[in-house]
Structure 1
Amino acid sequence: MLSENRLRQALKAGRSVFGVLASLPTAASIELIGDAGFDFVVIDTEHVLINPETIEHMIRTAERYRMTPLVRVPDADPKRMLRLLDGGAQGIVIPQVESPETVRQAVQACRYAPEGNRSLNAGRPGAFGRDALSTYVAHANRHIMVVAMIETVAGVAAARDIAETPGLDLVLEGAADLSQSLGISWDTGHPRVLAALEHTARTCLDSGVPYAAFLRHEDAGAYWRARGVTTFMLGDERGIAFRALRRALEQAHTDTGARS
């Protein structure tokens, strides 16, 4: 049966949670993230080519660590979302959301009737039909998450309507694409970018929807916590691994005197 969604439970309780993007197409990446102690993972299929079987293995690995597996899709294609959910994903992350209609369509695709119109299949999330379908459907509707990324000027302008869409569980920021949309590409610390992020966070929280912020600099945690945010992303595991490897190499050069 589909696991209890510990992330959704933590959000409802207002507890702090930490997640990371998984961009390496291997279950070993999820093992590293799980052993490190993260609460949730976002498997990225927007920017990364991962075959369906590997995604399912990554989801299984997250389940083993009792870590909530979300999957970021490249678009709001209902059939794509259906297959990921049937593979065990506990939530779908939709990028570039600019209207409540996109969220409504995702909710319909991710939830069973009467909350949506997801096609029924008693696969691995439904324990292959072990339990009554009515039991599984009710359980799935309680635990599947719909997450919207607001990362454009149009999305920021529609933030209140997006946040107030029934069935939305979480909003995730996307400062890099937002900076591009604002015409100040890749300057994620620019005052206009921060103002747009703060507006979106405040709007979401005022509407009762949790907001997830990326921790991009040393004091980012305190910055966002002071604004009521308790859901945090630490980037993607490739970048984290790269920076750790580079620091280790630089330290090795220093320790061995190989670099002046």
Structure 2
Amino acid sequence: MPFRLEPERTFRHALAAGAEGGANSDGGAKIGLWVCSGSPLVAEIMAGSGADWLLIDTEHSPNSLESVLAQLHAVHGYPVLPMVRLPWNDVVLIKQYLDLGAQNLLIPMVNDAEQAQAAVAAVRYPPRGVRGVGSALARAARWNRIPDYLARADETISLAVQIETAEAVANVEEILAVDGVDAIFIGPSDLAASMGHLGQQEHPEVRAAVERCLAAAVAADKPAGVNAFVEATARHYIEHGARFVLVGADVAILARSSEELSARFAAPSAAQADDGGRPASY
């Protein structure tokens, strides 16, 4: 039985068409959540949150090909765009995650146009690229149930590269000019470290570098995204042209929310303290 291609599940299509439903039905920036736990159950919970997109991370999270596949299964029935961040710009890894059915890839630590071109080549079949051919074995082609997948695979794939060093910021215009780079994503944490401001994502020099990249993307008419867990910062970057923004992570949400809930019960209330620590209802 033939399956149809799903270009509407790519960032290229969604960002060009504008938001449809989810957190930003008014057509504004797409709001995303990081999925770092490695749990399909948590991924499904996040998929039902109303966020527009999820970043399933394999760079800094306990994820493997098997766990990413399970998470792609878990979120597939929800109106959310899943993006997979690879651990490195590696032709073999890119091939494996594409064959797995990941349609939106984020490649970290892309510092210049040559590295961006290598990522583009890795997502394309020959003669335009170097992606290995295994569609009969791959979920991406639904095991050859998608007609003409080899000829039309580019329709189902979006590639974003991550700008997260001072070198990448200096080369951002050249990176944006690479044919096949559909979007850039700015990582302020590593960017701050590379600029000598480790742990200071809000440093004025870091924010200025992020704004420079956003302006370059607007000028190049390509979407740019950014990681910003501080709400005011996220809104600031949206105002400066960010089209998709990560505003939280599953593990961070769980950590902070559980701490806040526990803290409410950890210290005795004033009424309890006045009554020798006994609950006021006794």
Q: Normalised by the size of structure 1, how large is the TM-score?
A: 0.90
CA distance in 2, matches of 1:244, 1:83: 35
Q: Identify the residue that residue 12 of structure 2 maps to in structure 1.
A: 8
Indicate yes or no: 2:235 matched with 1:210. no
CA distance in 2, matches of 1:222, 1:190: 16
CA distance in 2, matches of 1:99, 1:39: 29
* Residue identity (%): 28
CA distance 1:253–1:157, change in 2 (3 Å): same
Indicate yes or no: 2:158 matched with 1:145. yes
**Residue identity in the other structure for 1:79:** V
CA distance 1:258–1:94, change in 2 (3 Å): farther
CA distance in 2, matches of 1:59, 1:188: 30
The secondary structure found in structure 2 opposite 1:33 is helix
Q: Normalised by the size of structure 2, how large is the TM-score?
A: 0.84
- 1:112 offset after TM fit, Å? 2.7
Further displaced range: 219-228 or 179-188:
219-228
CA RMSD, aligned part only? 2.2
**Residue identity in the other structure for 1:22:** V
Matches within 5 A, 1:160-179: 160-179=173-192
How many residues align? The count is 258
Q: Identify the residue that residue 58 of structure 2 maps to in structure 1.
A: 45
The secondary structure found in structure 1 opposite 2:229 is coil
CA contact (8 A) 1:21 1:42 kept: yes
CA contact (8 A) 1:150 1:156 kept: yes
CA distance 1:13–1:61, change in 2 (3 Å): same
**Residue identity in the other structure for 2:246:** M
Further displaced range: 110-119 or 142-151:
110-119
CA distance in 2, matches of 1:101, 1:217: 33
Q: Identify the residue that residue 211 of structure 2 maps to in structure 1.
A: 198
Structure 1 or 2, whichever has the larger Rg, is 2
Indicate yes or no: 2:253 matched with 1:249. no
CA contact (8 A) 2:10 2:104 kept: no
Q: Identify the residue that residue 231 of structure 1 maps to in structure 2.
A: 244
The secondary structure found in structure 1 opposite 2:55 is strand
Q: Identify the residue that residue 23 of structure 2 maps to in structure 1.
A: none
Indicate yes or no: 2:134 matched with 1:130. no
CA contact (8 A) 2:58 2:64 kept: no
The secondary structure found in structure 2 opposite 1:171 is strand
CA contact (8 A) 1:34 1:62 kept: yes
Indicate yes or no: 2:101 matched with 1:88. yes
Deviation digits for residues 24-77 of structure 1 (CA, Å, limit 9, x no counterpart): 111112111111122221111111232321111111122221422221112111
Deviation digits for residues 102-137 of structure 1 (CA, Å, limit 9, x no counterpart): 1111111112345433222222221212243x2x23
Deviation digits for residues 142-187 of structure 1 (CA, Å, limit 9, x no counterpart): 1211111111110100000001111111111111111111111111
Further displaced range: 60-69 or 30-39:
60-69
Unaligned runs of 5+ in 1: none
